[in-house]
Chain A
Amino acid sequence: MGNAMALDGTGLSTSRTDVSVVVSTYNRRQTLPRAIESLLDQRVPPSLRYEIIVVDNNCTDATRDLIADYLRRFPKVVRYAFEGRQGVSNGRNAGVRAARSPIVAFTDDDNVASRTWVATIAQLFRAHPDAAGVGGKVLPEWPRTPPGWLDQKHWSPLAILDYGERPFFTSARRPICLLTANLAIRRDVIIRLGGFSAAFPRCQDHELQLRLWRSGGKVLYAPELVTFAPVDPQRMTRRYHRHWHAQHGLNAARMRLEEVTDEHGQLRATPPATARLLGAPGYVYVDAAKTAWRWLGATARRRTARATHHEHRMRYLAAYLKRTAALSRGSRPAFVQDLAGFARDHIMRRARAVHMTAGRIVAVHALVAILLGASAFDIATGQEHWPFSPYPMFSSVERAWTLDSLLLMGVAADASGREFPLRDAAFIAPFDQCRLNTALQRARSSDDQGRRLHAMLEDSLARYETQRERGAHDGPPLRAVRVYAAHWTLDEQAQNVDTPDRVRLIDEAIAAPAGTKAGN
């Protein structure tokens, strides 16, 4: 913990008060008076003595003058401390150093403590001498009605908390974080732990409690201990929540929050031995994938609150994985690191050289891979996956000057019963001769005993008649269509195109009564 407080006890004096309330503030001139007033307006028993330590965390507005005013008016209760190093961790550590009580209570500079807050803290510590700390509810003061999606699941970004009406201890067995907006810890415990970590501008309360739980300590959640936090309207927007969860993911990765608890929710003694990718356990990726799936499902079902919750979780996990990957870079096997670095640098360099973005370069390569891969697969295997193909047409060697083909014939409905080939595209549209013949061939070779072939012929007859009635062609009314297997000896001048050597009737479809629209 890079910037932990000094542990030498410098500045400690005898316990002349029972509770020290630490309020670290930075440029909150507008909200600070309300917080201090609520702390001054406490109902405490005559025997209970407490002090309010306002830590000026290098304020640049008129906060210092404001505190001076309180010092003048309440010299026995209000005290002033200055911390030049920016950050709430530094501010609170300064408050702890200045504290003269065995119990240090923390609240935020915009929060309002309930009137029995200090008395309740003192009473809880007396009742639970084994508790390292006590914490409670931080209830919201809404500036307006919150939007529908902003239910209790989304309270964390607002720094508000309500775990219900039943008290419980948080510990390594139940590592549930309480907020420093309403938290009191024994001073000697904080000093032993090294204070708040300045390396965590956010989540410093969670990080401190992790160390506390790991050291065997426990903190009491007491529902009767209440403070009130005004909710900034800007924090009621989706945009803020998205940003907050992403930031939280980054900080959580530094604490390895997804790895510190086991499947039972208990704190682990050591990191889990599991498959990892870029430093993060595989189950975090699985969790991310599942969350994405749930988000899609909730979005599709228009369950806004649930979709928002999953979306925030996704952003949190994405940030978590990203930061974990960055943190673990040094511990990856050298070749993996080198390979990844090489690929990234190479792509970036190439992208700059050709005035493209790295993302586009990767996307184009994916497209090229599909084009080359699918084509190569079809060429190698001879399979057809339109629009990719091995292009096998006309590839076999023809050795005989003969032709075996199907011949679709129409039978005129007049008395002559004349047959003529249905070759003209207008007769068989939208088919052409080649397409229709291939379809008929495939139907012939299917094992449905000709049912499909017959259905096709009926359809051909019906379409012929429909198009005739529409005037698409001027062929005679048909009574039937017949399909023949025909055999030609190829004529040098192709003069026998309509006169095959031999024909064999395969199937026919007959319309009745003759001359009417067929196929119905």
Chain B
Amino acid sequence: MGAAVRAWTRFWFKPSQPGDLGIARLLFFSGLLVMYGWIDLGGWGAVSPAFWMPLPLFRALHLVPAGPVLLEGIRQVWLVSIAASAIGFHTRTSMVVAFLLGTYLLGLPHNFGHTFHFDATLVIAMGILACSRAGDAWSLDAAMAERQDDEASGEYTWPIRAIWVAMALVFFAAGLAKLRHGGLAWIDSDNLAIVLNRAAYHVSDADPIGGLGLAIARHAWLSRGVAAVTVLVELGFAAALFSRSARLFFVPAAFGMLIGIRVLMGPTFGGFLILNVFWVPWSAVLDAVATRVRLKTRATTAATTSDISSTL
């Protein structure tokens, strides 16, 4: 019991420096800005009420589509809050606003008949960050406060872990759903070949890129192999939470799988790709880069000195 509690505490709250979370926050919100900066959501304000089939969340909160002008206004405020969250200006407030408005704006299009899932985890991640102290490093707030206190704390660990868990749950749920609804036939039948073929018939929100999906569908062994790897990656992704070596395999594999889905079938999981910034140990990466740069500079200096000596 005690060991389990210690492991639980270590997983969620192992003290860490604020740098990793700060950099991940900066990249995450920057990615959101790039992804949603140009999307027009105003159209949803003018859609006929006949299409309105609200999600439980919207029904419970009595949320309705705002008019196009108001929607555009909300979107602008949201983008400002995302930008402020990225640069870390009034970070906590900005992240709370980004979360609340983001929940409304990203959820709104799912109330018109079809619920997509590509941005659901973004909302969860924004909610987690809104409760976090992600602005303690790599932020204007920290710079303006001339923050010197870099004490390691569990405050900088749990948000990252929570986002990891959210991603693992998504993959696990998807993998489990396949086995629950399709069984092994999802893998060892023509299922994926048929799905890849259908994807070419405009059945998704976007069309596949190129003809690779059709090519795979023509080879039964290949489509079944892809299906097996898909289920393996989805179910095994949770191992990345606990094992560093599993992380090295499953995180890039899942990233590749999302790219593969876009190329072969059409659905875009851009938001999910952005979330991968939380898997990178940024401080270690920066340290490694800095060390390499230092070594290179030292080698260059030594070589120059040697050249000068030999010249003399």
On whether the beta carbons of A379 and B114 are closer than 8 Å, the reply is no
Q: Give Cα distance in the complex from A423 to B206, angstroms.
A: 10
**Residue B180 at the A interface, CB < 8 A?**
yes
**Residue A71 at the B interface, CB < 8 A?**
no
On whether the beta carbons of A430 and B154 are closer than 8 Å, the reply is no
Which B residues lie within 8 Å of A371 (CB)? 124, 128, 162, 165-166, 169
CB contact list, B192-210 vs A, under 8 A? 194-195, 197-198, 200-206
On whether the beta carbons of B114 and A455 are closer than 8 Å, the reply is no
Which residue of the partner chain B has the closest CB to A387?
A: B120
Contact with B along A434-465 (1 / 0, CB 8 A): 11111111110000000010011011001100
- Known A395-B177, A396-B182, A456-B48; judge A435-B205 contact (CB<8 A): yes
Which residue of the partner chain B has the closest CB to A456?
A: B50
Residue in A386, A423, A437, A443 whose Cβ sees the most chain B Cβ within 10 Å: A386
Q: Give Cα distance in the complex from A459 to B47, angstroms.
A: 7
**Residue B296 at the A interface, CB < 8 A?**
no
**Residue B37 at the A interface, CB < 8 A?**
no
Q: Which of A403, A440, A493 contacts B203 (CB 8 A)?
A: A403
Q: Flag the segment in B28-36, B80-88, B104-112 that touches A.
A: B104-112
User: Shortest Cβ distance from B79 into chain A, in angstroms?
Assistant: 18
On whether the beta carbons of A432 and B205 are closer than 8 Å, the reply is yes
On whether the beta carbons of A405 and B13 are closer than 8 Å, the reply is no
Q: Give Cα distance in the complex from A171 to B86, angstroms.
A: 68
Which B residues lie within 8 Å of A384 (CB)? 55-56, 115
**Residue B62 at the A interface, CB < 8 A?**
no
Q: Flag the segment in A140-148, A156-164, A356-364 that touches B.
A: A356-364
**Residue B263 at the A interface, CB < 8 A?**
no
Q: Give Cα distance in the complex from A317 to B169, angstroms.
A: 43
Which B residues lie within 8 Å of A463 (CB)? 43, 46-47
Q: Flag the segment in B89-97, B183-191, B279-287, B302-310 that touches A.
A: B183-191
Q: Which of A367, A391, A433 contacts B177 (CB 8 A)?
A: A391
On whether the beta carbons of A405 and B201 are closer than 8 Å, the reply is yes
**Residue A166 at the B interface, CB < 8 A?**
no
On whether the beta carbons of B120 and A439 are closer than 8 Å, the reply is no
**Interface of A with B (CB < 8 Å)?**
346, 350, 353-356, 360-361, 363-364, 367-368, 371-372, 375, 378-379, 382, 384-401, 403, 405, 423, 429-443, 452, 455-456, 458-459, 462-463, 488, 490, 492-494, 497
16 contacting pairs across A/B (C-beta < 8 A): A350-B13, A355-B15, A356-B153, A356-B155, A371-B166, A379-B172, A384-B55, A386-B57, A389-B173, A391-B117, A391-B174, A394-B195, A403-B198, A430-B41, A442-B53, A459-B47
